[in-house]
A = this chain, B = another copy of it.
């Protein structure tokens, strides 16, 4: 039998602490600002939205943040996830590169999202919160939080972008199956939603709008908090379980990555796989490239501005410094719904600014082609979001082939595509086209960025 294709770990190897890259940054993150005063916000400003433990994690610079036993207990349902060596893909590409992928699609909700959903729900539970509101695009995050709510006995209310609510009923069914309440956004249940509907009765919604609705609901009720599935520091922190496990698994394989690839929407799955390795680079000067892959139709890192901006459309959130296309930018309706966000995690943005990671973008057709090549070799049909990482990894492997270098490539296969098969039907039927954003709309969105004193 040939060498291992799957490096499994026992439950005892689930990390006991998340890795906080803030501990190793050469320069600290710019502060989060209050939109009214332009001054850095304090914990009390966030208290209506988040439990104090998560607010503390948001600003922590402690390197290792202990994972509560009860959270690890729930992690054991699907963690450690396997690290795969993509041997059949390597053969198909005829590359000297070694390609590894961490497969987060084996979680019950089908993506990396439960890593933070369970943690967030648990901290909320500890502080007596009985209801959590959130937004979801395609539904990966919403279903993960709904599952966490079912496990922990917390009511979950999900504002789901209307276009997905209507077109992707299956993720909604999963959320409702877990007992969550799922509302099409914009809705008539919030001021933010009603304002949008008054102006655009046929609005198909956006993540920015859904965030506004969820935030408004949480802010207005004492027993209710809000949860975000990406972007924030504590969310990225929770995702580092993936990279920490991968590090142990690569040690077992006697390997270490030369290149790490991940797709980026809000930035959390990329952070999860890359930060634990990036931390070693920051501390020990390891030679390592980190490649963030985003859709060409929503090119936050590659075309956005690094500036203070709102996280939502109705400007209810604080201002964070990040790569942004402008909070009013609405990307075209390509299939990787999880990557259709105008902003990027401040930590990822900061690291990009410091030249600690590279960004590139791809069109969706080339990503679906890569995803199917991967599926035929590895059996797993990736989510459209994950196809961006697959494409990035394949391109790195082909570069190695051209250069004749035997590098180690690690990527995060953040989810399966079982709820996205219509996209594959469209692709196989030749009905899928590449999407272009409108340059003048982007220019307008960028020109509308709030003016604040730089942090």
**Given that A376-B178, A428-B177 are known contacts, is A110 also in contact with B418, CB under 8 Å in the complex?**
yes
CB pair B425–A169 under 8 Å, yes or no, is: yes
| Residues of chain B lying within 8 A (CB to CB) of residue A177 | 372, 375-376, 381, 424, 428
CB pair A77–B379 under 8 Å, yes or no, is: yes
| Residues of chain B lying within 8 A (CB to CB) of residue A106 | 106
For residue A179, CB closer than 8 A to chain B, the reply is: yes
List which A149-188 residues lie within 8 A (CB) of chain B.
150-151, 169-170, 173-174, 176-179
| Residues of chain B lying within 8 A (CB to CB) of residue A189 | none
Within the complex, what minimum Cβ distance (angstroms) separates A336 from chain B? 17
**What string of 1s and 0s marks CB contacts (under 8 Å) between A310-347 and chain B?**
00000000000000000000000000000000000000
List which A100-134 residues lie within 8 A (CB) of chain B.
106-110, 114
CB pair A10–B8 under 8 Å, yes or no, is: yes
A-side interface residues toward B, CB under 8 Å? Answer: 1-2, 4-6, 8-11, 69, 72-73, 76-78, 84, 88, 106-110, 114, 147, 150-151, 169-170, 173-174, 176-179, 372, 375-381, 416, 418-419, 421-422, 424-425, 428
| Residues of chain B lying within 8 A (CB to CB) of residue A424 | 173-174, 177
CA distance A169 to B429 in the complex (A): 12
**Given that A88-B151, A381-B174 are known contacts, is A72 also in contact with B1, CB under 8 Å in the complex?**
yes
CB pair A76–B151 under 8 Å, yes or no, is: no
**Given that A11-B6, A173-B425, A379-B151 are known contacts, is A1 also in contact with B77, CB under 8 Å in the complex?**
no
| Residues of chain B lying within 8 A (CB to CB) of residue A88 | 151
CA distance A148 to B170 in the complex (A): 27
Contact of A77 among B5, B73, B150 (CB under 8 A): B5
* In the complex, residue of chain B having the shortest beta-carbon distance to the beta carbon of A110: B418
CA distance A170 to B69 in the complex (A): 39
* In the complex, residue of chain B having the shortest beta-carbon distance to the beta carbon of A5: B76
CA distance A379 to B147 in the complex (A): 6
Contact of A69 among B1, B4, B169, B419 (CB under 8 A): B1
CA distance A174 to B372 in the complex (A): 10
Contact of A174 among B4, B173, B178, B421 (CB under 8 A): B421
CB pair B10–A376 under 8 Å, yes or no, is: no
CB pair A376–B179 under 8 Å, yes or no, is: yes
CA distance A77 to B422 in the complex (A): 26
| Residues of chain B lying within 8 A (CB to CB) of residue A174 | 381, 421, 424
**Given that A170-B422, A174-B421, A428-B177 are known contacts, is A2 also in contact with B73, CB under 8 Å in the complex?**
yes
Within the complex, what minimum Cβ distance (angstroms) separates A415 from chain B? 11
| Residues of chain B lying within 8 A (CB to CB) of residue A428 | 173, 176-177
Within the complex, what minimum Cβ distance (angstroms) separates A380 from chain B? 5
